[in-house]
Amino acid sequence: MTERSPLAVPFPQIPPISGVTPRIARAGYKDWGRCDLTYIELAEGTAVAGVFTRNVCCSSEVELGREQVTGGQARALVVNAGNSNAFTGYRGREAVEAIMSQVAGHLGCSPDEVFVSSTGVIGVPLPKDKARAGIEAALTAPPCSWEEAAATIGTTDTFPKGAVARAIIGGTSVTIAGIIKGSGMIAPDMATMLGYLFTDAAIEPGFLQACLAAANARTFSCITVDSDTSTSDTVLAFATGQAGNAPLGSFEDAGADAFAAAVHDVCRQLAHLVVRDGEGAQKFIAVHVTGAVSDDSARRIGLAIANSPLVKTAIAGEDANWGRVVMAVGKAGEPADRDRLSIGFGATWAAREGQPLPDYDEAPVAAHLKQREISIEIDLGLGEGHATVWTCDLTHGYISINADYRS
């Protein structure tokens, strides 16, 4: 890992999840002398749900994963780091199927219950021999910690990322743990990068999918680092059922709201961690949009601001350049009325209803912009729609990482 992001936070205390056993090994996909293959064994009866990239040039892993999730059952997860295996045609697909067969043979399960993700260079078929040897080593490795697993799935990440939340379902306490990787090629409208949630709760697959999709819409789909949508993005949720709660099948069941809230909480934490490790990020930015004609419109306007290179460089320069925010609102393609628009930073209005405030005091805004955590407020004055979008600033670090990085 390169220099740690200034926005990094410590890895949280995540307890073991009953029915989930992570192991790591060195497949050597790149010449980097670190573990790069993560193998997570799941107890029999584990339910699975997933959301995937909408990029139409997606990887075989994503294609297969979409089909596998419809079965609802999982026994293992394999994550390869250093090679995304995307845009590699039939050879790439064969490499994934070989991994699925190898693990299925070991566990005595169907290959469809073995989920594979890969992340890294695009266009190089995953080397089957390295994958085979890596899996073999992982199957016999001792169990590892959540932090070790989180570090092993990373590529350009500068710190390992995890989150945890708890919920009570019918008197039974359940835990939801998550790990994620991602730093660049992070964009809206999909499940971003590789993220995994694990819970000991008993949850029926359809309801697990509903909870994950709902959380995804307001977390992973509301972050952006650079507007570029990866070909491999995947978020999977696994529920082993070992906690012993009465299985949840719908929002009508007792404890369902608490479980859904905890899934949302873990997803939001993980999404924020990805932004905190945005390539070159020096500042964490929350864009709060209110007064839009709908929540979806608010989200699109928030993303137009969060994806604007001119807004992101202004924040990097600690410049309260609200004119660039006006520009971004106006280009979003959503209903907006220039003469009702208000813009603020750190809860101080700079402009209200289409005009700069005559008594605008820039001092509190300037002080706010020197912080690591920045907020931008936009009120459209049109309706009740609202959304929050998270991003980071655009700095020389992003250019250095991506003009020099040969993926």
Q: How far is the CB of 366 from a copy of itself (least distance, A)?
A: 11
Any contact of residue 127 with a copy of itself (CB under 8 A)? Answer: no
Q: How far is the CB of 279 from a copy of itself (least distance, A)?
A: 9
Q: For a copy of itself, which is the closer residue by CB, 75 or 324?
A: 324
Structure tokens at 137: 């080593």
Cβ–Cβ under 8 Å, residues 78 and 115: yes
Single-letter residue type at 168: I
Q: For a copy of itself, which is the closer residue by CB, 110 or 400?
A: 400
Cβ–Cβ under 8 Å, residues 51 and 195: no
DSSP helix/strand/coil, 386: strand
Q: For a copy of itself, which is the closer residue by CB, 99 or 328?
A: 328
Cβ–Cβ under 8 Å, residues 307 and 324: no
DSSP helix/strand/coil, 311: helix
HEC string of 238-264 equals: EECCCCCCCCECCCCCCCHHHHHHHHH
Any contact of residue 187 with a copy of itself (CB under 8 A)? Answer: yes
Backbone angles phi, psi at 23, to 5 degrees: -140, 155
User: Among 21, 73, 145, 313, which residue interacts with a copy of itself (rule: CB under 8 A)?
Assistant: 313
- The residues in 353-372 that bind a copy of itself, with binding defined as CB under 8 A, are 354-356
Q: Measured between alpha carbons, how far is residue 372 from residues 5, 168, 317, 361 in Å?
A: 11, 35, 12, 21
The piece of 10-18, 156-164, 167-175, 225-233 that touches a copy of itself (CB under 8 A) is 225-233
Any contact of residue 294 with a copy of itself (CB under 8 A)? Answer: no
The piece of 42-50, 128-136, 221-229, 262-270 that touches a copy of itself (CB under 8 A) is 221-229
Q: For a copy of itself, which is the closer residue by CB, 137 or 366?
A: 366
Task: Find the catalytic residue in 155, 192, 219, 348.
Answer: 192
Buried b vs exposed e over 57-83: b needs ≥16 C-beta within 10 Å? ebbbbbebbeebbeebbbbbbbbbbbb
DSSP helix/strand/coil, 329: helix
- The residues in 317-336 that bind a copy of itself, with binding defined as CB under 8 A, are 317, 319, 321-324, 326-331, 336
Structure tokens at 296: 């979806």
Single-letter residue type at 128: K
User: Among 38, 46, 55, 175, which residue interacts with a copy of itself (rule: CB under 8 A)?
Assistant: 55
The piece of 1-9, 40-48, 210-218, 228-236 that touches a copy of itself (CB under 8 A) is 228-236
- The residues in 102-121 that bind a copy of itself, with binding defined as CB under 8 A, are 121
Dihedral of CA atoms 270, 272, 274, 277 in degrees, nearest 10, equals: -130
Q: How far is the CB of 68 from a copy of itself (least distance, A)?
A: 19
User: Among 4, 101, 105, 228, which residue interacts with a copy of itself (rule: CB under 8 A)?
Assistant: 228
Any contact of residue 58 with a copy of itself (CB under 8 A)? Answer: yes
C-alpha–C-alpha distance, residues 259 and 274, integer Å: 23
Q: Measured between alpha carbons, how far is residue 174 from residues 262, 266, 280 in Å?
A: 10, 13, 37
Any contact of residue 406 with a copy of itself (CB under 8 A)? Answer: yes
Cβ–Cβ under 8 Å, residues 373 and 283: yes
Q: How far is the CB of 355 from a copy of itself (least distance, A)?
A: 4
Whose CA is closest to 16, among 248, 170, 198? Answer: 198
Q: How far is CA 78 from the centre of its chain?
A: 18
Q: Number of residues interacting with a copy of itself: please give it, by CB under 8 A.
A: 64
Q: CA 62, 186, 305: angle at the middle one, nearest 5? A: 140
Q: For a copy of itself, which is the closer residue by CB, 60 or 269?
A: 60
The piece of 74-82, 222-230, 253-261, 370-378 that touches a copy of itself (CB under 8 A) is 222-230
Active site residue 140: no
Q: For a copy of itself, which is the closer residue by CB, 201 or 275?
A: 275
Residues forming contacts to a copy of itself in the complex (CB under 8 A) are 54-58, 84, 86-89, 91, 121-124, 184-185, 187, 226-231, 307-310, 313-314, 316-317, 319, 321-324, 326-331, 336-339, 341, 351, 354-356, 394-396, 398-400, 402-407
Which residues are designated catalytic? 192
